[in-house]
Amino acid sequence: MENMLTTVGFKVKSLDELKGNVPAAFSPKQDPNRSDKYSFVPTHELLALFAKLGWAPYSGKQNGKSPFARHIVRLENPEFPFMDLKNDKVKPQIILDNSHNGSSSAKVHMGLFRLVCTNGLVVAMPGLYSGVKFRHIGLSFEEVKDLVEETMTHYNVVGEHIGDMAARILTPDEQLGFAVSAYAHRVGARLFDEDGEVLIEKVLKEMNPDNVIMPLRDADNGDDLWTKFNVIQERMVKGEFDKFATSGRKSHPRQLLNGVRNIEYNKVLWEVAEDYLDN
């Protein structure tokens, strides 16, 4: 059976499977159109360094078919199992984001994987890094080791914030407001005014927030911030909600399968959720 592309990429069990689905990650050289000053950081070398620390590919995807295209690989480590959360099962992931054509530098993000929906989240918390960049050739094992240690230290803080989210009960109006904001950020600038405020009336002509906050499964019944954040994130990323055209015609949006767009959108949603903790 052919490996299916999901919002977290093609799930893989080996480097060979990753190479088959994300060949750009194994490019031995940079795009020949780049200058000699371009800092080429081979993804396959980074993967080898992470492997020494126990981190193996879980999934991967690339943008387009170019052998130098931007690509994203999610890594997991069996020594870091699911977090000890009260009503959920979430495990840490490291997300490697790179290209060999100059479209992006090599970066690492903190990610989360939620078992109940096999869905991928990206962490973007105040005070924590949202992406560490590699800018040079000749990466050392110690450099990557230090990065992993720092990342895992941050995950302890992430676990505390998830606990805070689970304890924060959202009012019905807050839930609908979260859904409206999530949709506006998915669509883009045309749903914001000059001051960066969401144009709520415009949003409500295109979607029904009641539809977006509705759980997709019994395990996601709950009015706490953590549960609603996951419901809204999954519906938005997978396109599991109704969208209305100006004619009134109803449709389902496409999934956010573009790896770069998925990461950036996940970060924005995490920041929106964090705002509710401050209120």
In tens, the pLDDT along 111-127 reads: 888 877 766 788 876 55
Distance CA 204, CA 226 (A): 24
Q: Is 139 exposed, middle or buried (0-12, 13-18, 19+ CB in 10 A)?
A: middle
The CA distances from residue 36 to 33, 39, 107, in Å, are 9, 8, 21
Q: How many CB atoms lie within 10 A of CB 138?
A: 7
Each domain of the chain, given as residue ranges in start order, spans 5-166, 168-278
Q: Which pLDDT value is given to residue 129?
A: 54
Q: pLDDT at residue 77 above 80? A: yes
Q: Which pLDDT value is given to residue 175?
A: 98
Q: Which pLDDT value is given to residue 134?
A: 63
Distance CA 214, CA 140 (A): 47
Question: Do 30 and 74 form a contact (C-beta atoms < 8 A)?
Answer: no
Report the Cα 153 to chain-centroid distance in Å.
Answer: 19
Q: Which pLDDT value is given to residue 261?
A: 87
Q: Which pLDDT value is given to residue 1?
A: 35
Q: Which pLDDT value is given to residue 159?
A: 85
Question: Do 230 and 114 form a contact (C-beta atoms < 8 A)?
Answer: yes
Distance CA 141, CA 151 (A): 15
Distance CA 27, CA 62 (A): 12
Going through 77-183 in order, the beta strands assigned E by DSSP cover 90-98, 106-114, 119-122, 132-134
Distance CA 96, CA 60 (A): 9
pTM of the predicted protein model: 0.86
In tens, the pLDDT along 16-65 reads: 999 999 999 999 887 677 766 666 788 998 899 999 999 999 999 998 88
Give the containing element (helix H, strand E) for 110: strand 106-114
Q: Is 56 exposed, middle or buried (0-12, 13-18, 19+ CB in 10 A)?
A: middle
Q: Which pLDDT value is given to residue 60?
A: 93
In tens, the pLDDT along 185-227 reads: 999 999 999 999 999 999 999 999 999 999 988 888 999 999 9
In tens, the pLDDT along 178-187 reads: 999 999 999 9
Q: pLDDT at residue 136 above 60? A: no
DSSP code for 3: P
3-state secondary structure of 49: helix
Beta-sheet pairing, 119-122 with 106-114: antiparallel
